[in-house]
Amino acid sequence: MNTDSIACDERAAFQLRFPSIFDSRSGYVFPCDESGRVDMDALTERARDSYLYARALVGRDYARPVLERCFT
């Protein structure tokens, strides 16, 4: 799932990327603050489920999340 359009928008200057360990072209991306905190209340239900899924599988299917600045 690619959520770049969700992560880098007018509301977020930063994004938290969970890269896949097995496929460099996939992973999850979520809007966050400069400390890497994701506002789960602002996410859609589907995005929130994906965020919790990615967090739960760090080290198994996804690498540790990377904090990135959005350049839109």
Q: What is the pLDDT of residue 4?
A: 47
| Ordered mean pLDDT values, 10 residues apiece, the chain (72 residues) | 55 90 93 95 96 97 95 70
Nearest in space to 61 (alpha carbons), one of 28, 32, 36? 28
Is the entire prediction scored with pTM above 0.75? yes
* d(C-alpha 42, C-alpha 26), whole Å: 23
